[in-house]
Amino acid sequence: MDPVIGLDVAKGKSQVQAFLQKKKPYKKSFVFDHNVLGLHDFYRFYQEVQEVSRLPPAVVFESTGHYHEPVLQSLEDHQIVYYLVNPVLSYEAKKTSLRKVKTDAIDAFHLGDFTTEMRTSNPSKRKAFAL
């Protein structure tokens, strides 16, 4: 499996959870601010995951209106592969969990896990994910 970084984007900050393997988080989840220093910290973490896994990780996050714009711009500036997910799709995927706890760290975990599921699924499911 390719590495994945899940982001739970909020107003001015994002919660991060990386995966090197399916259902195996890499390090602890953390938060970065949507400013120059925070985005730089995230990019350094991205490079760390890439170095450890020897593969460039994909970044996945939900469309959040305009809150995700600084993250999106930074990813594009660094030419990082990302998946901008329709919140309805990720909500449906989260409903399959037995635990109904809602935290930013859990949301970031679910987004990363959702991406690993979609990457290993059949092509017809991937089309729905790409919308």
Asked if pLDDT for residue 88 goes beyond 50, the answer is: yes
Instruction: Give all strands of the β-sheet with 4-10 in edge-to-edge order.
Output: 24-33, 13-21, 4-10, 58-62, 82-85
The residue-averaged pLDDT of 85-99 equals 60
Locate all alpha helices (DSSP H) within the chain, ordered by sequence: 36-53, 69-77, 87-94, 104-120, 123-130
CATH code of the domain occupying 4-130: 3.30.420.40
The residue-averaged pLDDT of 38-62 equals 96
The residue-averaged pLDDT of 5-33 equals 92
The residue-averaged pLDDT of 80-99 equals 68
> Which pLDDT score, from 0 to 100, does residue 86 have?
81
Asked if pLDDT for residue 68 goes beyond 90, the answer is: yes
> Which pLDDT score, from 0 to 100, does residue 126 have?
40
- How confident is residue 123, by pLDDT bands cut at 50, 70 and 90? very low
